[in-house]
Amino acid sequence: MLSLNEINALTQNLVAQSGNNTVQIDQIEDLRNVIRFHEHRYYILNEPLLGDTEYDLLFNTLKKLEAANPILITPDSPTQRVGVDLNKNFANVHHLVPMLSLENSYDADDLLDWDRKNKETLKLNRIQYCIEPKFDGASISLIYENDYLVRGATRGDGVMGDDITNNIKQIKSIPLSAAFAKHNIQQIEIRGEVLLNKKNFYDFNKQLEAQNLPPLANPRNAAAGSLRMKDPKEVKKRNLEAFLYHVSFFNPVTNAPVEDLSSHSNSLNLLWNLGFKSPKNEMKVCHTIEEVIDYCFAYESKRDDLPYEIDGMVIKVDPLEHQDALGMTTHHPRWAMAYKFKARQATSILKNVEFQVGRTGSITPVAKIDPVGIGGVTVGSISLFNEDVIREKDLMIGDTVLVERAGDVIPYIVKSLPELRNENCQPIIFPTNCPVCNSPLVKPLDEAVWRCVNYHCSAQIVERMIHFTSKDAMDIRGLGDSIIRKFYELKFLTDIPGIYTLPFEQIGQLEGFGAKSVQNLKTAIEQSKTQSLNRLIFALGIRYVGETTAKTLANAVSNLYDLKDWTVERLQSLEDVGPKVANSVFEFFQNPINLQLIDQLQHVGVDIQQKSTVQVDGNLTGVTFLFTGTLSKLKRSDAEALVEQHGGKLLSGVSSKLNFLVAGEDAGSKLEKAKKLSTVKIISEDEFLSMINR
């Protein structure tokens, strides 16, 4: 190992020779090592010792030498980061060990309870923990074999991810090789997070603005999107970096134990010493859970001062033998816990309130605030839901308001700050007439929402068409929100049946509509005519009828017209259809305007018949289910499909008819309601999958 002085002397010598083009072939490995050294100083330590010009001189000299002597190129040469081909598709690859989720905690009590359970399982009075930041980026998995990087992959579904090896090689904080063999490691899988730090994010958005291109939304999305770009050269321009924070699997060269991997903290030190950007300097080994809690609180206070985004801390039982003893579920390791920071907040000025009209005539007030950055996202518009919210929060135009991103995702106004209010602030006047068609608004006694009851209101017409063509309804690709609005303005489209008689010749003359896109739109519209009856019922936009209730209604009839003869009482006899839903469905099918719509759809060829179905008998026959919260392994639609495939039934709400509520992460009011009903059993996603597989 050369000393720093020797490296500097060698660097200066090679820089001088590069400038004179006198570097020799026998110096090629010295040149590579010097470049690797300076990349490590720059990308890992953030302590560069070499200017950009000198670095480029060395790098270009190496490229020339290798181009003249290709037999001397090695897989880990710094020049091999540069991708030469576009990736048309990313292959799916299996992780050596599944990339599980983490169980979340939001306060000290959660951590204390977790610590208690760990002690009980391990039969210990004290447990050593390792705590580190929870980086807010894109998860990756790296595999090294015989010291060389052989694969990089996205998290994917946790079992399989996309092979993004070429793009991973553009991240200079990820070594192309590392001396694992010296530590008795032949193969190793490492987990990490790819980030775009705040400065690089800001600088890149400035470049985009200079080119009149839209800016990136936030560093997390920018990092994730960068990893799946087709051209590795474009990935390189993003200046991504990666923190490698976990060894998930390794194969030793010999049967001797690998002491460097006997604990999580040791593994972070090993990765750092081998040239990886591990959170070695950010981690802390704690001997009590109280130390862990104190460190979480301290780190949260300096969150905004960090050069990168984090959304919490990760606490892991440190000794690997204790991790093995605690084991894991199919969802998360029992030996790790994520402590989530409080949601991001900021203050801004409420400049105005706009009133938007939905497809059922609901009037939604939307606050327009001075744009403010919260958690890497610029927020300028926030839904206020209804008039009652405005009154409850005591909001006025001109108020200073506290804004938060719920779950670091959805923005909402927490409260106004009336102590900062001045004489220029004005009350928010809720309209008495529709802001689009000027019809008088109506507020039913049992609702909090004002509505425009003019069926022909242009705003409602457009919103109904957008809902009708949406993915979960008739799924007409190519007829998105903006296209429908454009066609409506051009009078190509004035109602839902008009979707099936669009003037394609005129559309083909519009900018952006070539022959292929027009043909694709024609095909999508034609295919939608044969969608299942439950999709059509959902697409009609009947109030209170979601996807599950639409299936219930479709399964009860042979033809859509049958529903016009159903009474409220008969509708209520259906599983999961209560008085509110029954009355809404009844009123819809008694309305001549809606029956005319169905006539027109049938006339243009839309199938209104229920396809023949075979009654499924399975291990869930006769059992009712409802899903709430975020599932980690399955999409909600896939989980619901599994219920039906095994003979079970889906409900749309919590009631005495519900047998099982499957609760995922961030479950809300449905979970609280289910807890009050002794007849409802609350289960996890893993327990649900066990029921399916038994």
What residues act catalytically? 134
- H/E stretch holding 187 reads strand 185-195
State residue 578 phi and psi, 5-degree precision. -95, -175
The two structure tokens encoding residue 531: 């969608």
CA distances 559 to 42, 555, 585, 601, Å, are 69, 10, 15, 13
Is 668:675 a contact under the CB 8 Å cutoff? no
CA 69, distance to chain mean position in Å, is 46
Strand order in the sheet with 284-286: 104-105, 336-340, 310-317, 129-135, 284-286
Residue 676 has a CB neighbour count (10 Å cut-off) of 8
DSSP structure class, residue 319: B
> Cα separation of 193 and 154, whole Å?
10
Is 264:206 a contact under the CB 8 Å cutoff? no
70: helix, strand or coil = helix
State residue 274 phi and psi, 5-degree precision. -90, 5
Q: What is the 3-state secondary structure (H, E, C) of 612-628?
A: CCCCCCCCCCCCEEEEE
> DSSP letters along 82-145, please?
S--S--S---EEE-SS------EE-SHHHHHHHHHHHHHHHT-S---EEEEEEE-SEEEEEEEE
> What are the start-end ranges of the H helices in 257-372?
264-273, 289-301, 320-326
Helix 636-645, helix 685-693: angle, nearest 10: 30
The two structure tokens encoding residue 630: 């975020």
State residue 640 phi and psi, 5-degree precision. -65, -35
